[in-house]
Amino acid sequence: MTVVKSTLPEEALGVTGTALQDTLVDLLGLSLIGKQAHWNIVGPRFRSIHLQLDEVVATARGHSDTVAERASALGVPPDGRPETIAATFALPGTKDGWLRDTEVVELMVSALGTAVDRLRERIDATEKADPVTQDLLITVTADLEKQRWMFQAENQPRDDASS
């Protein structure tokens, strides 16, 4: 079997490989949270949040592919198997059954916030180990922060006095 050889020194590869694998798990899990909420949301803001969840899922899935391919390019086989995700996933998840639109907004703000916090730790860890991977993680973080902001904006109380 041919093994892809990394251009990184062994220690840097360990740090980078861990950062990429953990990010892959977070992104795949985030896409599953998004779809679960997408299928089960109910409430007056159903349509807008339903569509917004599709954006989160597309973002997470797109970045998961890029993250996995970066790992492969460095000689680290990415592991996106369901059992790996189930065993190592650490973001807040959905409850069973129907979800009120307000619950979905709170869930997504929390899950995206946790993902961003974890990514920021990986950004710090990869600064010297692999600036190329760090740059990728910065891009992922920016996109997830944008999604979190959009859900936070959904969660603001309505100001009926100005209507």
Average pLDDT over residues 9-32: 97
Q: What b-and-e string marks burial along 108-119, b requiring 16 or more CB atoms within 10 Å of the CB?
A: bbebbbbbbebb
Tens-digit pLDDT profile for residues 88-119: 999 998 899 999 999 999 999 999 999 999 99
Is residue 52 within 8 Å of 150, Cβ to Cβ? yes
pLDDT surpassing 70 at residue 1? no
Decide if pLDDT at 2 tops 70: no
Q: Tell whether pTM > 0.75.
A: yes
Compute CA 136 distance to the chain's CA centroid, rounded to the nearest angstrom: 13
Q: How far apart are CA 113 and CA 156, in angstroms?
A: 17
163 vs 12, which has greater pLDDT?
12
CA nearest to 108, candidates 62, 136, 145: 145
Phi-psi region of 5 (alpha: psi -120 to 50; beta: other; left: phi over 0): beta
- φ/ψ of 99, rounded to 5, equals -125, 125
Both structure tokens of 113:
């916030």
- Predicted pLDDT of residue 155: 74
Q: Which residues pair with 42 in a beta bridge?
A: 100
The length of the chain is 163
Residue 41: phi and psi, rounded to 5, are -75, 140
pLDDT digits (tens, 9 = 90+) for 54-97: 999 999 999 999 999 999 999 999 999 999 999 999 999 889 99
Q: What is the pLDDT of residue 158?
A: 65
Torsion of Cα atoms, 87 then 92 then 93 then 99, to 10°: 170
Query: What pLDDT is recorded for position 4?
Result: 87
| Confidence band, pLDDT 50/70/90 cuts, at residue 154 | confident
pLDDT score of 3? 84
Q: Would the pLDDT of 161 be above 90? A: no
